[in-house]
Structure formats: structure tokens, C-alpha cells
């Protein structure tokens, strides 16, 4: 069934955003030329058009940023009254809200995600994180009763490209609330909202050096990790790089939190409200093109409702609108990069070759840019690569189960453990499943819900440490006995 009529284009105007031709590095409260002298082009993945020239920071640049952060830590920030620190965080949160449309448009332009998501999810949640941690800044002794929390020092933070501004907020807000200073590196494909954020810091009159933003690829990240002046590393990205970072830091005494990949199980029992569950399945895997570490990429359906679920799912997939990220009606935007598109395509190919049955709804893709049609695989065996490896794209693998025990067994049969979903009418079953699923977050009758007050993080190869909530402060304080 096709939709009865086509939607007229509803593009968000992009002229609210002023992108500079080139950017420097944000160090010590101002933009400076990179000592490396190197720049690279950042693009719009939906149009394959260049947007700006961005600095590729080298070792000397990172050193300069760490020195600025150290100076700010010792000179002012760690000594500031906590209620003063809170004041800056509240300001940042309010400015993000005031400039939300600008941030949403820029996020969609540089990363390819639908404007509906950047406008309704990424930007409001980023502001909410700053509001939330602003509230903790002068109440840290209540967060850690009978202990005396003090800041650690300079935090080196490395973030990915799937939620550029939101991951920046997750990293910077708790670090600053606890009195630390920051050197942050955005992902190479999505630096522009982090660079716009520097303007927010200027507007908020944050003391120079408290937050420093250095752009560049993995080499820049590795320099931050290795720098002896950094006291703590917070990383979100691939399990492969997470492991390499852990090896580098072994024995150095630097603190580390890792938020890595996932292969979450979304489990639907036969008593679940099926239409709601189908919405949850769709949201679980096609939200943000599936570039989501906690994506519900393995669907487990109880056998008695298998046929009905798959029929409803395919019907719903045919109504997904794929295309221009800046169009307000778009559900699925552009794949973030050529490299990621190639990875998705090759894993999908492996699924076909291993014998799974593929379904893709009819879909007209734009000629330029990086796109992938929402895909579902049925007939998937647990050993297939598409059931084991993180695809990080709009690709769902469906498996079945008969009993709750079988569902648990199969769901936990993965090296990852970041998130899971359970769909059932039975409250007791939800609690029983949540107890036994080895996943940091378990959603019940919903999926991909985030709240700054709620901790997020993984087991096993999904990493360690928690972000969000009171738990998220722990990574940024040293605790002395009171």
C-alpha cells in the first residue's frame, strides 16, 4: 500500500545558519589558527557539498589546549563558588534554547539527520542536560553523602558523529558542574555544532580555557588520550577504538569511561499491544538512520505473533519517508558518511549471502548524497554477522523465541550489553526480564527514550561508566572521606 498522496516539500529554511568559510581551534576562549597548518573539508552528507574548512589539530595544538584547560582549572574554575559554576551552566542551557533552531538546522546539515529529530530530540535534550547538571553544581555533597567530592582536573573528551551536540552536552555538562575543565574533540565528520557552541560559551561569558574545542580525526583523539596533562578520558565511539584507548591508558592512573557499541534486543511478547510495539520497533531501529549505539537492531518476536508482527512492520515501513534531512516530513535522513554507507552495504550483503531474507520498501532515493533504504531481515540465524555485529544503520534483524527463558538466552548472546526493550502487558514479566537482561538500559513498552536524570551506559563490550543522572557525576569527582 502506497500513501494516498505525496507530501509537498516542507523544507526548513537554512539561512538562519551562518557557516564560516573556515574555522580555527577554540583554545583559551578564542579561535586560534592551528599550529599544524592543516585543514580538511566538512560536508553535507545529503548533498555531498562542502560546508566549511575545519582544522586538523596535531600534537602541538592539543598541548596548547590542555595547557589552557590546566590554567583555567587552577586559576579560576576549580576555585569558583559552586553556585557561580551553576550560573554559567544555566546560561549555556538557556542560550541553547534561544538558539535552538539555528543548532537544529546546522546539526541536520552537517550530520544528515532529519530536522524533526534534531529539532525535537537532539537540541532540547542537550539544553536539558545543561539545566540538569547546573542544578547539581552546588549540591554535590548531597549527590555523595558522607564524602567530600572534589574535581579531578582536565577532562579529555572524544565524541562520535551520531548525536554531535547531544554527546557534547553529555560530556561537558557534568564535567563543568563538578569543577573540571575540558578539552573536547568532536567527530571528524560533524564538527560544526561544536564550533557553533563556542559562540554560546562566549555569549555565556564562560571564563577562557574552561572549555576548549579541538577538531580533527582519530589522530587528534589519540593525542588527547596520550597527553600526560589530561586527568580523565571520556570516550564514546567504536568498541575497537575504545579497546585501543584502554590499552594506552593502562597503568597511567588516568581515569576512563567508555561508551561503546551495542546490538540491542527488542523483545516482543504475544500479549504486547501490537500496533504500539510496531511503532517502538520502527523508532528503535530507524531513528537517526539507525546510527544509534542503543538501537533495537535485533528484534525478537514470540512465535505465536510472528506473522502478524512482520506484516504490520512491513506495512509501516512502506510509510517511512526517506530523503532531505531539512524537510520537516522526513523520517529517515542521510547516512552520515560514505565510509559508514559502505560499512552498512557490506554487512547487508553478508546477510543476503548467509541466507537471510531481505525486505526493503519501494523507495525513491535522491541522486546525490549517501542514502540507505530502511531494511529488515527475516530468517536470521544467531550466527549470522547481521545478528552479531553492530551495523549502525537502518537495518533490522528479526529472530524468534517461544519462552521467556529462550528470549533471555538469545538476547544476552552478544558481546555487547548497552540496552534492551521489552513489550508485554504483564508488569511482573517486565521486572523479571529487566533483572535478567545484561543491558545497562531496559525500556519497557517504549524505546529510545532519554532523560538527563537517568543514567546510561553498558556492560561487557559496550563499555563502562555511566552518563546522565547522579551516576554521571561520579566520573568527574574524586571522593574524600568527609
**For ligand NAI, which residue of 113, 129, 185, 227 counts as binding (CB under 6 A)?**
185
**For ligand NAI, which residue of 172, 187, 334, 475 counts as binding (CB under 6 A)?**
187
Q: Is 392 in the site for ligand NAI (CB under 6 A)?
A: yes
C-alpha span between 254 and 430 (Å, rounded)? 38
Q: Which residues pair with 156 in a beta bridge?
A: 183, 233
**Residue 439 Cβ, how far from ligand NAI at the closest point, in Å?**
14
**For ligand NAI, which residue of 218, 229, 361, 455 counts as binding (CB under 6 A)?**
218
Q: Is 25 in the site for ligand NAI (CB under 6 A)?
A: no
Question: Is 259 known to be catalytic?
Answer: yes
Q: Is 241 in the site for ligand NAI (CB under 6 A)?
A: yes
Q: Is 217 in the site for ligand NAI (CB under 6 A)?
A: yes
Q: Which residue, 288 or 302, has its beta carbon nearer to ligand NAI?
A: 288
SS3 assignment, position 136: helix
Site for ligand NAI in 343-362 (CB under 6 A): 343
H or E stretch covering 474: helix 471-474
Q: Is 467 in the site for ligand NAI (CB under 6 A)?
A: no
Q: Is 215 in the site for ligand NAI (CB under 6 A)?
A: no
Stretch in the footprint of ligand NAI (CB under 6 A) among 120-128, 198-206, 237-245, 438-446: 237-245
**For ligand NAI, which residue of 222, 265, 322, 473 counts as binding (CB under 6 A)?**
222
C-alpha neighbours within 13 Å on the C-beta side of residue 160: 20
Stretch in the footprint of ligand NAI (CB under 6 A) among 36-44, 216-224, 305-313, 375-383: 216-224
Question: Whose CA is closest to 145, among 470, 475, 476?
Answer: 470
Site for ligand NAI in 135-174 (CB under 6 A): 158-160, 162
Strands (E), 214-353: 232-236, 255-259, 265-268, 298-302
Q: Is 237 in the site for ligand NAI (CB under 6 A)?
A: yes
C-alpha span between 355 and 380 (Å, rounded)? 8
User: CA triplet 59, 62, 64: central angle to 5 degrees?
Assistant: 110
Question: Is 293 known to be catalytic?
Answer: yes
Q: Which residue, 169 or 260, has its beta carbon nearer to ligand NAI?
A: 260
Stretch in the footprint of ligand NAI (CB under 6 A) among 34-42, 127-135, 215-223, 312-320: 215-223
Q: Is 261 in the site for ligand NAI (CB under 6 A)?
A: yes
C-alpha span between 116 and 331 (Å, rounded)? 8
C-alpha span between 349 and 389 (Å, rounded)? 13
User: In 234-305, which residue ranges form alpha helices assigned H by DSSP?
Assistant: 239-249, 274-286
Residues touching ligand NAI, count (CB under 6 A): 25
Q: Is 111 in the site for ligand NAI (CB under 6 A)?
A: no
Spell out the residues 6+ positions from residue 223 whose beta carbon is closer than 8 angstroms to its own.
57, 58, 59, 62
* Per annotation, catalytic residue among 259, 390, 461, 474: 259
**For ligand NAI, which residue of 36, 42, 266, 340 counts as binding (CB under 6 A)?**
340
Q: Are 374 and 385 in contact (CB under 8 A)?
A: no
Q: Which residue, 88 or 286, has its beta carbon nearer to ligand NAI?
A: 286
Site for ligand NAI in 284-323 (CB under 6 A): 293
Site for ligand NAI in 395-434 (CB under 6 A): none
**For ligand NAI, which residue of 238, 329, 350, 360 counts as binding (CB under 6 A)?**
238
**Residue 218 Cβ, how far from ligand NAI at the closest point, in Å?**
3
With 0-12 / 13-18 / 19 or more C-beta atoms within 10 angstroms meaning exposed / middle / buried, residue 41 is exposed
* Per annotation, catalytic residue among 198, 293, 390, 467: 293
Backbone angles phi, psi at 235, to 5 degrees: -130, 135
Q: Is 338 in the site for ligand NAI (CB under 6 A)?
A: no
Q: And the C-alpha cell for 6?
A: 505525496
Q: Which residue, 127 or 234, has its beta carbon nearer to ligand NAI?
A: 234
Backbone angles phi, psi at 394, to 5 degrees: -80, 60
CB burial of 348-365 (b: ≥16 within 10 Å; e: otherwise) equals beebeebebeebebebee
CB burial of 303-324 (b: ≥16 within 10 Å; e: otherwise) equals eebbeebbebbeebbeebbbbb
Stretch in the footprint of ligand NAI (CB under 6 A) among 11-19, 184-192, 398-406, 469-477: 184-192
List the catalytic residues. 259, 293
The residues binding ligand NAI (CB under 6 A) are 158-160, 162, 185, 187-188, 217-218, 221-222, 225, 236-238, 241, 244-245, 260-261, 293, 340, 343, 390, 392
Amino acid at each position: 500500500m502506497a500513501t494516498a498522496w505525496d507530501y509537498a516539500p516542507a523544507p526548513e529554511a537554512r539561512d538562519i545558519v551562518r557557516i564560516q568559510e573556515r574555522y580555527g581551534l577554540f583554545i583559551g576562549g578564542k579561535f586560534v589558527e592551528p599550529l599544524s597548518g592543516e585543514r580538511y573539508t566538512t560536508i553535507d552528507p545529503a548533498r555531498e557539498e562542502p560546508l566549511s574548512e575545519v582544522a586538523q589539530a596535531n600534537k602541538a595544538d592539543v598541548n596548547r589546549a590542555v595547557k589552557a584547560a590546566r590554567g583555567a582549572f587552577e586559576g579560576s574554575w576549580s576555585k569558583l563558588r559552586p553556585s557561580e559554576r551553576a550560573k554559567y551552566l544555566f546560561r549555556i542551557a538557556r542560550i541553547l534554547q534561544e538558539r535552538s533552531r539555528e543548532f537544529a538546522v546546522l546539526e541536520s546539515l552537517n550530520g544528515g539527520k532529519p530536522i524533526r529529530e534534531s529539532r525535537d530530540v537532539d537540541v532540547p535534550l542537550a539544553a536539558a542536560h545543561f539545566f540538569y547538571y547546573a542544578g547539581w553544581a552546588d549540591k554535590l555533597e548531597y549527590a555523595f553523602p558522607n564524602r567530600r567530592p572534589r574535581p579531578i582536573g582536565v577532562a579529555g573528551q572524544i565524541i562520535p558523529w551520531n548525536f554531535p551536540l547531544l554527546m557534547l552536552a553529555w560530556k561537558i555538562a557534568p564535567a563543568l558542574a563538578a569543577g573540571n575543565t575540558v578539552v573536547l574533540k568532536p567527530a571528524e565528520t560533524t564538527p560544526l555544532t561544536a564550533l557553533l557552541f563556542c559562540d554560546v560559551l562566549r555569549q555565556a561569558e564562560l571564563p577562557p580555557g574552561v572549555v576548549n574545542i579541538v577538531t580533527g580525526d582519530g589522530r587528534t583523539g589519540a593525542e588527547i588520550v596520550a597527553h600526560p596533562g589530561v586527568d580523565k578520558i571520556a570516550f564514546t565511539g567504536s568498541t575497537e577504538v575504545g579497546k585501543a584507548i584502554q590499552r594506552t591508558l593502562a597503568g597511567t592512573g588516568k581515569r576512563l569511561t567508555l561508551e561503546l557499541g551495542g546490538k540491542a534486543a527488542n523483545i516482543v511478547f504475544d500479549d504486547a499491544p501490537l500496533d504500539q510495539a510496531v511503532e517502538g520497533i520502527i523508532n528503535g531501529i530507524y531513528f537517526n538512520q539507525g546510527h544509534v549505539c542503543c538501537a533495537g537492531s535485533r528484534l525478537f518476536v514470540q512465535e505465536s505473533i510472528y506473522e502478524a508482527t512482520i506484516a504490520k512492520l512491513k506495512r509501516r515501513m512502506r510509510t517511512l519517508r526517506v530523503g532531505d534531512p531539512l524537510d520537516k516530513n522526513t523520517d529517515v535522513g542521510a547516512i552520515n558518511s560514505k565510509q559508514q554507507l559502505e560499512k552498512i552495504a557490506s554487512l547487508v550483503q553478508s546477510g543476503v549471502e548467509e541466507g537471510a531474507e531481505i525486505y526493503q520498501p519501494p523507495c525513491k532515493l535522491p541522486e546525490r548524497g549517501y542514502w540507505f533504504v530502511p531494511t529488515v531481515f527475516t530468517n536470521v540465524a544467531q550466527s549470522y554477522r547481521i545478528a552479531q555485529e553492530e551495523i549502525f544503520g537502518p537495518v533490522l534483524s528479526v529472530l524468534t523465541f517461544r519462552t521467556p527463558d529462550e528470549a533471555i538466552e538469545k538476547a544476552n548472546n552478544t558481546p555487547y550489553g548497552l540496552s534492551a526493550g521489552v513489550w508485554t502487558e504483564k508488569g511482573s514479566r517486565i521486572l523479571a526480564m529487566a533483572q535478567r537482561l545484561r543491558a545497562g538500559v531496559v525500556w519497557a513498552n517504549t524505546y529510545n527514550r532519554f532523560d538527563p536524570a537517568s543514567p546510561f551506559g553498558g556492560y561487557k563490550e559496550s563499555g563502562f561508566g555511566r552518563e546522565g543522572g547522579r551516576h554521571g557525576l561520579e566520573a568527574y569527582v574524586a571522593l574524600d572521606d568527609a
